[in-house]
Structure 1
Amino acid sequence: MYVCLCHGVTDRTIREAAENGVSSMRQLGKELGVGTQCGRCASTARQILRESQTPDYLKLADMLAQPA
Structure 2
Amino acid sequence: MYVCLCKGITDSQLRAAIKDGGSEFKRLKKELAVGTQCGKCVPVAMSILAEETAKNAVYYEVA
TM above 0.5, yes or no, is yes
Segments of structure 1 that go 5 or more residues without pairing to the other structure are: 60-68
Greater relative contact order, per chain length (Cα 8 Å cut-off, separation 6+): 2
Note if contact 1:15-1:48 (Cα within 8 Å) is conserved in structure 2: yes
Runs ≥4 residues deviating over 2 A: 55-59
Q: CA deviation at 1:57?
A: 8.1
Q: Percent identity?
A: 47
Residue 23 to residue 56, structure 1, CA distance change in 2 (3 Å): closer
1:14 alignment counterpart: 14
How many residue pairs end up in the alignment? 59
Q: TM-score, normalised by structure 1?
A: 0.78
Cα distance, 1:31–1:56 mapped onto 2, change above 3 Å: closer
Rg bigger for which structure?
1
- Residue segments in structure 2 that go unaligned for 5+ positions in a row: none
Check 1:15–1:23 CA distance in 2 against 1; reply closer, same or farther (3 A cut): same
- Please, what TM-score do these two structures have when normalized by structure 2? 0.84
Name the Cα RMSD after superposition. Answer: 1.7
